[in-house]
Amino acid sequence: MNALGARTNCLRRRPRRDRLPRQPRHQRPHPPRTRQTETPVRLHEFLERLDVSGSEPGDSTLVTLGRTIRGARRAREMSQEALGCAAGLAAKHVSEIERGNRDVRFTTLVRVAKGLGVSVGGLLSIYDLERTANN
C-alpha cells in the first residue's frame, strides 16, 4: 500500500537498467547469414581439372561451353528467352552464359540441359568435341 492506503501493483515489472531498450523491428540489425559448409564447384574449374592438355585458360573454357549451349539452342530453333523460361533463368543470364561472361554452376548447367532437352553428359560431350576441334 502507498501513503494514501491504495494498493499498488506489486507484480509490475520494473525496467532493468543494465539492458538497453528494445529497438523496433525495422531498426534491428539483421542476423548474420550462415554460410554453406561446402563451396559450390564452378564448372570451368571442374572442366579444367578434366582437361589433360591444360593448354586453354578458364576464360576460353567458358567461351567454348557458351558456344556449345548456343549451338544446341539454335539447333532447336529456340530463342534465349524461350531457353530461359524452360530452364528457369532470365534471358540475360542465358546470354551471359553463351558469351562466356558468366561462370556456370553445375546446377545451372543441369537446368540449361533440361531446358534444351538433352542430358548433361550429351551437352558435355558436344563441349568436348568443340574443345578438341579448336585445338
Q: What is the pLDDT of residues 56-114, one digit of tens each?
A: 445 688 899 999 999 999 999 999 999 999 999 999 999 999 999 988 899 999 999 99
Helix, strand, coil fractions of the chain, as percent rounded to 5: 55, 0, 45
Is residue 25 classed as helix, strand or coil in its secondary structure? helix
For 37, phi then psi, to 5°, come to -70, -30
Q: So what's the pLDDT on residue 30?
A: 64
The CATH number of 43-134, from 1.10.260.40, 3.90.78.10, 3.40.50.720, 1.10.10.10, is 1.10.260.40
Full-model pTM: 0.58
Domain residue spans in the chain? 43-134
Average pLDDT over every residue of 41-54: 58
Q: What is the mean pLDDT of the chain?
A: 77
Q: What are phi and psi of 124, to 5 degrees?
A: -70, -30
Q: What is the DSSP letter of 98?
A: H
From residue 74, give the alpha-carbon distance in Å to each of 82, 126, 135: 11, 14, 24
